[in-house]
Structure formats: C-alpha cells, structure tokens
Amino acid sequence: MSIEKIDSTDSTDSTDSTDSTARSEKHVAEGETDTRKTAMLIFRDEGVDWAELAADGRSKALFQKLVDWAADLKRRGLYVGVEALGSGGKTVRRKGAGLVVDGPFAEGREAVLGFFLVRVNDIDEACAIAGESPHAEIGGATEVRMLGNFPKP
C-alpha cells in the first residue's frame, strides 16, 4: 500500500472532543469541507517479542490483521495511508564541509516499524484509533502525533 494524497487542512490540535468518533466514522458528504486533521500513528519496535511471534508462526497472521485493519479504517473514512519501513537505512549528517553517512545504528535501526496516517478531529480520537490496532493488541508501542502545517511547494 502507498500513501494517498489528501487535501491539506489546518493540523493544529483541537480541544473539541465532543463525540469525535461518531463524527469521523461517517464519510464527508460531497461538497462539504472535511475539517478533520491528519494524525500519524508511528508503530515502534517496543514491547513485542518479535522472535517469539516468528517462531510461533504468528507474524503472518499479525500482518494480515494489519492489512484488514487498514481496510476497516478506509471503510470508516479514517484511512489516509500506511507504509512499512524497510530494515536498514543510513544516517546522514553534515560535519563542517564534509558529509557523514553512518549506520544504521542498533539503537535506532528497528525503532520505527512503519506508520499509519488517519483523519481525525483531535489527538484523543487518534489515540483511541491507535488503541484498536493489532499492534496494540500484542503489546506494541504506538506514538501518536498530529501533523503540523508545512508550506507546500
């Protein structure tokens, strides 16, 4: 799956949490403006014994649950996108006039497994959605962040 382009709207945190789940579960009617914001659910490599999951053969079932959960989010009008991060990678930093390319480092190499982008009214709704995830069911840590505004080119 890949991230789908969405309309940009104000992504500042909202304090209005009045029945936010019910409002977000209905699709925005044609011609109406979607005032929801985008949140990123960052799945972290914490709290899960991945070797045990693989040994028990449960890792494929977990992956399928994540695929099914993404389809459910889309059906509910919450889904924006999802991406897994590949293992490996590099860290790039400038040191004076030189460019240093390192890594990956053990402490950060697998720290982020992937992320979901969801449309929500506020961070509380995003946290509730993160709590529904198959990743949470197995004890995985999910960081929830609201996306901020960035000037579009």
* Cβ atoms within 10 Å of 79's Cβ, excluding its own: 19
Round the average pLDDT of the chain to a whole number and report it.
Answer: 79
pLDDT band at residue 116 using 50, 70 and 90 as cut-offs = very high
Residue 38: predicted pLDDT: 95
Q: In order of start, what are the domains of the chain with their CATH numbers? A: 34-146 (3.30.70.1060)
- Which DSSP string corresponds to 54-68? HHTT-HHHHHHHHHH
CB 88 within 8 A of CB 1: no
Rounded average pLDDT over 117-134: 96
Q: What is the DSSP letter of 32?
A: S
- Between residues 8 and 75, which one has the greater pLDDT? 75
How far is C-alpha 129 from the chain's CA centre? 10
Q: Which of 25-39, 66-80, 103-117, 138-152 has the lowest mean pLDDT?
A: 103-117
How far is C-alpha 134 from the chain's CA centre? 13
Report percent pLDDT > 90 for the chain: 46
**pTM score:** 0.71
Three-class secondary structure of residue 119 per DSSP: strand
Sequence-separated (6 or more) residues with CB below 8 Å from residue 138: 48, 53, 62
CB 89 within 8 A of CB 78: no
- Which DSSP string corresponds to 83-101? EEPPS---EEEEETTEEEE
Rounded average pLDDT over 26-43: 82
Report pLDDT digits (tens) over 56-109.
Answer: 989 999 999 999 999 999 999 999 999 998 877 888 888 888 888 876 655 544
Three-class secondary structure of residue 80 per DSSP: strand
